[in-house]
């Protein structure tokens, strides 16, 4: 059951990669057939990422309103509709609109599918199962190039290229009937019996030499314990997030009136409540209990029907309990409030890092290189469309190799070191790419591109998702990941819609600009991000607290791979400061160098 769920849901990753990469081969024929200008080409390519920005919030809203399984089916609908619109297009505006619809599916899938896989997988296998999404994304990129090559000889070949993703998209659409709903969502809806049944079906296994009776007893005890733990997590998450909404509501009321009413808490008490909320402590839960139920409910014994409350309520993932179904405007308001909590709360340092790193991740042209690779290769002497598409497909294979490499090195050398080395390496690869284009050497262009994609895939591509999954608390992770993903796609849209323009303005020097962005991203990581390898989630979130940042000037925290810090501390520069008496309570700065 778990294998079927994983493979089925990972189709979202496959379609993500396929739809992103297919345009690189199809663009060769679309540009010629429709006689597109460079600006129109940029729009056709970039609209996919623009749609993905909106798709991240569409996916989050669908999950909150209808559940994970209907959200996956909705993503599939967009994956089918987008290619059909593109294949039927007669001008670039309709083609761009089809790309926008497909982008909405990509953005929704990037939020819904990993969340669904993470909630369905057991804790001991969650990392491997969630990483299947990224692996399938790379497989989709590689397959799209091969399919484009196979369709190259057909009349109006690009129409066949762009409609092919509708086939796996239709298969993904059967998720509504083939996949179970997430136990976490079912528990939030107070459907305890169905949640227990889903857990039992997912965790059903047999040990060697085990009798049916002993297996049933062992599985039943384990599944009930997992159900109880899940109920506890959901209750705390709902309470913390409902407290956030109440805090923001009180602040809005106080802002409108200009004074604090006798019935509302004072500004000082609200700050205390907010501090407790952001840390997930009992203060937030206590505030919710006063506003809501006098005592939290407990899961019923399995097999017993829960008694319906006199005033039925709907519980959303944001923890809002109301007597009527939330409309879309209310859902959007709750999501926006969650983002405001992140921006001003105790996790603001982590949130701002995720947004900034998402910008660096895409503004270095990491996805644009793959989208425009055939056009760049044709400019340096590769005349055959088939050869250009084959080399583009090879980039998908190299990216898959890089993702697999990342899975081995990230826990060996550490997240921070891998990201810094990757950023500087990408900058060097861009320098060679700039030289290769200037001297019109197609072989050096291909090698530079492949090295760049390999470095990106083995560091920033997967590293972004790992870091984002670690630095946020459970109650804020959903809103933080959705917003960071939206910014990631927005930066990608900017890069895609300006790539050709930058080449026209700066020539091969445009790639030096992209390389400089990668190096600046590596410096930003070295200055801002602590090492998270081997630490618990609580320890990581404590390191990312606003008051835990280094007090040294930023330029003294820059590290170069295999060298260490560019600047030593003031004490070490003095030479004999180690013999000087230290003031009481002072701490000697520690120097951490990269191996």
pLDDT digits (tens, 9 = 90+) for 16-58: 889 888 888 888 899 888 988 989 999 999 999 999 999 988 8
Handedness of CA 428, 431, 436, 439 (dihedral sign): negative
Q: Residue 436 above 70 pLDDT? A: yes
Q: Residue 242 above 80 pLDDT? A: no
Give the pair of three-digit tokens for residue 361.
């991740």
pLDDT at 197: 75
Handedness of CA 32, 33, 38, 41 (dihedral sign): negative
Measure the CA angle with vertex 41, ends 35 and 45; round to 5°. Answer: 140
Confidence of residue 347 (pLDDT cuts 50, 70, 90): confident
Please answer whether residues 468 and 354 qualify as being in contact, where contact means their C-beta atoms are separated by less than 8 angstroms. Answer: yes
CATH of the domain spanning 1-180: 1.20.1250.20
The residues pairing with 322 across neighbouring beta strands, listed in sequence order, are 314
Q: Residue 401 above 60 pLDDT? A: yes
Q: Which CATH number fits domain 347-573: 1.25.40.80, 1.20.1250.20, 1.20.120.1730, 3.40.190.10?
A: 1.20.1250.20
Phi-psi label, residue 319: left if phi above 0, alpha if psi -120 to 50, beta otherwise: left
Mean pLDDT over 277-298 rounds to 39
Least Cα distance to 76 among 51, 25, 113, 117 occurs for: 113
Mean pLDDT over 513-540 rounds to 86
Who contacts 550 (Cβ-Cβ below 8 Å, separation ≥6)? 557
Please answer whether residues 530 and 416 qualify as being in contact, where contact means their C-beta atoms are separated by less than 8 angstroms. Answer: yes
Q: Any idea where the domains of the chain sit in the sequence? A: 1-180, 209-326, 347-573
Please answer whether residues 480 and 472 qualify as being in contact, where contact means their C-beta atoms are separated by less than 8 angstroms. Answer: yes
Q: How far apart are CA 492 and CA 371, in angstroms?
A: 11
* Cβ count within 10 A of residue 394: 17
Mean pLDDT over 327-350 rounds to 72
Q: β-pairing, 321-322 with 564-565?
A: unpaired
Q: How far apart are CA 562 and CA 534, in angstroms?
A: 21
Q: β-pairing, 314-315 with 559-560?
A: unpaired
Summarize pLDDT for 444-466 with one digit per residue, the tens.
Answer: 999 999 999 999 999 998 888 88
The structure's pTM equals 0.72
Got the DSSP string for 117-133? HHHHS-GGGHHHHHHHH
Range scoring the smallest mean pLDDT among 141-150, 189-198, 219-228, 403-412:
219-228
Least Cα distance to 448 among 432, 428, 459, 425 occurs for: 432
Please answer whether residues 418 and 559 qualify as being in contact, where contact means their C-beta atoms are separated by less than 8 angstroms. Answer: no
């Amino acid at each position: 059951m778990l294998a079927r769920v994983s493979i089925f849901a990972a189709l979202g990753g496959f379609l993500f990669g396929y739809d992103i990469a297919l345009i690189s081969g199809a663009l060769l024929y679309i540009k010629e057939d429709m006689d597109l200008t460079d600006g129109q080409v940029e729009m056709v390519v970039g609209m996919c990422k623009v749609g993905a920005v909106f798709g991240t919030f569409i996916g989050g809203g669908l999950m909150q309103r209808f559940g994970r399984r209907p959200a996956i089916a909705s993503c599939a609908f967009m994956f089918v509709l987008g290619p059909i619109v593109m294949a039927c297009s007669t001008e670039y505006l309709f083609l761009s609109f089809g790309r926008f619809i497909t982008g909405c599916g990509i953005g929704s899938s990037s939020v819904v599918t990993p969340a669904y896989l993470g909630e369905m997988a057991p804790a001991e296998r969650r990392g491997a199962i969630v990483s299947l999404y990224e692996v399938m994304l790379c497989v989709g990129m590689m397959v799209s190039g091969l399919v484009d090559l196979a369709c190259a000889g057909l009349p109006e070949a690009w129409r066949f290229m762009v409609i092919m993703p509708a086939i796996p998209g239709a298969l993904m659409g059967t998720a509504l009937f083939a996949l179970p709903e997430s136990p976490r969502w079912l528990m939030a809806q107070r459907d305890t019996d169905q949640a227990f049944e889903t857990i039992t079906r997912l965790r059903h296994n047999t040990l060697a030499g085990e009798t049916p009776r002993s297996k049933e007893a062992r599985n039943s005890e384990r599944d009930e314990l997992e159900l109880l733990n899940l109920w506890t997590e959901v209750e705390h998450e709902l309470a913390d997030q409902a407290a956030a909404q109440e805090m923001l509501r009180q602040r809005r009321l106080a802002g409108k009136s200009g004074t604090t009413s006798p019935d509302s808490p004072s500004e000082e008490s609200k700050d205390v409540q907010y501090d407790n909320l952001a840390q997930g402590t009992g203060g937030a839960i206590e505030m919710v209990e006063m506003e809501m139920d006098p005592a939290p409910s407990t899961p019923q014994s399995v097999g017993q029907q829960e008694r319906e409350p006199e005033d039925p309520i709907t519980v959303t993932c944001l923890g809002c309990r109301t007597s009527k179904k939330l409309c879309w405007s209310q859902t959007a308001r709750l999501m926006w409030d969650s983002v405001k909590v992140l921006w001003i709360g105790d996790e603001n340092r982590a949130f701002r890092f995720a947004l900034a790193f998402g910008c660096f991740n895409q503004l270095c042209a990491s996805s644009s290189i793959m989208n425009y690779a055939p056009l760049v290769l044709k400019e340096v002497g590769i005349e055959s469309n088939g050869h250009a598409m084959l080399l583009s497909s090879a980039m998908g294979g190299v990216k898959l190799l890089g993702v697999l490499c990342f899975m081995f090195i990230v826990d060996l050398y550490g997240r921070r070191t891998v990201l810094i080395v990757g950023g500087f390496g990408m900058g060097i690869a861009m320098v060679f790419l700039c030289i290769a284009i200037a001297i019109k050497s197609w072989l050096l262009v291909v090698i530079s591109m492949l090295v760049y994609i390999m470095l990106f895939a083995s560091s920033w591509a997967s590293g972004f998702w790992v870091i984002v999954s670690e630095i946020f608390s459970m109650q804020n992770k959903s809103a933080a990941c959705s917003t960071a993903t939206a910014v990631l796609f927005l930066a990608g849209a900017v890069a895609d819609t300006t790539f050709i323009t930058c080449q026209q303005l700066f020539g091969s020097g445009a790639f030096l600009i992209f390389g400089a962005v990668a190096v600046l991203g590596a410096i930003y990581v070295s200055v801002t991000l602590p090492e998270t390898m081997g630490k618990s989630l609580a320890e990581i979130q404590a390191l990312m607290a606003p008051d835990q940042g280094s007090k040294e000037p930023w330029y003294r925290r820059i590290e170069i791979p295999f060298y260490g810090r560019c600047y030593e501390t003031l004490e070490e520069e003095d030479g004999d400061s180690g013999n000087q008496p230290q003031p009481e309570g002072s701490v000697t700065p520690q120097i951490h160098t990269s191996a």
